[in-house]
Amino acid sequence: MLCVHHAFRTADVHEVLPPLLSPVVVLVMSVLHAFDGPAGQRPAGRLVRVPRGRAALGTALSAWELRRLRTRYGATLRRALGRRSR
């Protein structure tokens, strides 16, 4: 998630953007890893579970970060889009 924040500098656009883009990056990397094939000798079960776990963990961390930004700083997706809260 730090690559989205620092390398792509998405936090300069809005604070909510890195946690929104991180699950997409993690899912794409997991799909690429699934089609790339194993890097070594591993059991078949690990080849399926590890990419799924990585994607689930990346999504969970992004959801936690969005919640933290909302509760601590009041940064929401509506404010990022320039819409008013009702």
**pLDDT on residue 9:** 76
Average pLDDT (5-20) is 76
Task: Look up residue 41 and give its two tokens.
Answer: 């000798």
- Whether 85 maps to a domain, the answer reads no
- Whether 86 maps to a domain, the answer reads no
Report the alpha-carbon angle 32-60-9, nearest 5.
Answer: 70
Domains of the chain: total: 1
**pLDDT on residue 30:** 80
- Whether 18 maps to a domain, the answer reads yes
Average pLDDT, the chain: 76
Domain with 65 in it: 2-80
**pLDDT on residue 79:** 72
- Whether 66 maps to a domain, the answer reads yes
**pLDDT on residue 53:** 79
